[in-house]
Amino acid sequence: MQAEATTAGNATTAGNATTAGNATACDPPYDLARVPMVVLYSVVFVVGFPANLLTLWFTWRQVRRNNVLGVYLCSLSVCDLIYLSTLPLWALYIDGCHKWAWGSRACHVTGFVFYTNMYISILLLCCVSCDRYVAVRYALESRGLRRPRVAAGITAAIVVMVMAAHVPVFLMREGDTDHKLDMRCFEPDHTPSQYVTAFNYARFFLGFVVPLALLTASNYGVLRAVRASHSLQLGQKRRVRWLAVAVVTLFLVGFAPYHLVLLVRAAFSHYPEHHELHLAFSRWIYAPYYVSLGFSTLNSACNPLLYVLSSGDAREELSLALRGQSETRGEEREPSGRSSEILTAIDNAWCIAL
């Protein structure tokens, strides 16, 4: 997490703003990656928020048509919207030399929302990929098993589990900005506690390694099923292959750097006797930590484009909505036969087209 505060000895000097004329600069290490991070958070928010609103509208229509994948993608849009709503505060915080001006309660709530929704999003991405695999690999067999109520129950279980795992955020002194001179909100520390170290290990393995394995295995399974199909054209197979690679690549770009930094910091914390080395390491890792954390926000802006808005059905339905027309053909389509089931599963799996 952004959650590990520095000691009070460094708190009196670190992060103070110095003013020269009309320009405000931050003391090291708070000047590192300051402008790029503010720009990144701003761009992700400006692009991702309206894109997820459109996706929410479209996927909600699919949920009303009892589309199972639509349940996961609609939930993912809600999750990403909540996640994105915290970015303006983090951008202002970074631009203000890492001084949290909104009190301890807001710091705790914002940190809780930011991190719970990150991992809810990751697990929902796994649900999307696994559901696609089942829909494509077992198109006929899964018709009675893949139900919206089951998808809603799985989503609710994920939300409850992740939120429960992050409840200790409200008890962490790192978020108590009202009683700290530097007013910093969930900052990395050069001497993290054993609890924080264990939590970082858990987030690396359970929040990154396991989901990556599920994403890779399920998308590889989809590719194998599509490759073996004789009813799909070469162009359709190429499109599915491109999307599968894009899904895994986006996950790696967005989440691998941050979780690798977490792993390095957790491993380095086992040598507390080397105090000076820890101080040097904390200064060196500071910029990579925040840059990698910024990269983790990219998925929230890219998910709508990759999973929904790239769909021809989505673009057509948005066009019809803008013209004031209604689209009902998704409720009328009833494919039959193994070939039609695979073709429909491909559409449903990659574009949630009905």
User: What does each of the 354 residues of the chain score in pLDDT, given as a tens digit?
Assistant: 444 444 333 443 444 444 333 345 666 567 777 888 999 999 999 999 999 998 898 889 889 888 888 899 999 999 999 999 999 999 999 888 888 888 888 888 898 998 899 999 999 999 999 998 888 888 777 777 788 999 999 999 999 999 999 887 777 655 555 555 567 777 766 566 677 788 889 999 999 999 999 999 999 998 888 888 777 778 778 888 888 899 999 999 999 999 999 898 888 777 666 666 666 777 778 888 888 989 999 999 998 888 775 555 555 655 665 566 544 444 434 333 344 444 444 444 444 333
Beta bridge partners of residue 352, listed in sequence order:
none
Domains in the chain, number: 1
Q: What is the pLDDT of residue 219?
A: 92
Does residue 23 form part of some domain? no
Give the angle 350-353-354 at the CA atoms, nearest 5°. Answer: 135
Cα-based distances in Å from 175 to 168, 184, 317: 11, 8, 45
Identify the three-state secondary structure at position 256: helix
Within 13 A of 296's CA, how many CA atoms are on the CB side? 27
Domain containing 266 equals: 28-351
Distance of CA 62 to the CA centre of its chain: 22
Identify the three-state secondary structure at position 26: strand
On whether the CB atoms of residues 48 and 103 are closer than 8 A, the answer is: no
Does residue 5 form part of some domain? no
Does residue 7 form part of some domain? no
Q: What is the pLDDT of residue 325?
A: 53
Does residue 160 form part of some domain? yes
Burial class (CB in 10 A: 0-12, 13-18, 19+), 234: exposed
On whether the CB atoms of residues 16 and 27 are closer than 8 A, the answer is: yes
Does residue 20 form part of some domain? no
Q: How many residues would you count in the chain?
A: 354
Does residue 61 form part of some domain? yes
Cα 186 to Cα 163: distance, rounded to the nearest angstrom: 17
Nearest residue to 212 (alpha-carbon basis) of 272, 172, 254, 157: 254
Provide the strand spans (E) within the chain. 17-20, 23-26
Cα-based distances in Å from 350 to 193, 231, 273, 340: 43, 17, 52, 16
- The DSSP letter of residue 6 is P
Q: What is the pLDDT of residue 195?
A: 73
Does residue 6 form part of some domain? no
Place of tokens 């792993």: 263
- CATH assignment of the domain containing 96: 1.20.1070.10
Does residue 33 form part of some domain? yes
- The DSSP letter of residue 98 is S
> Amino acid letter at 10?
N
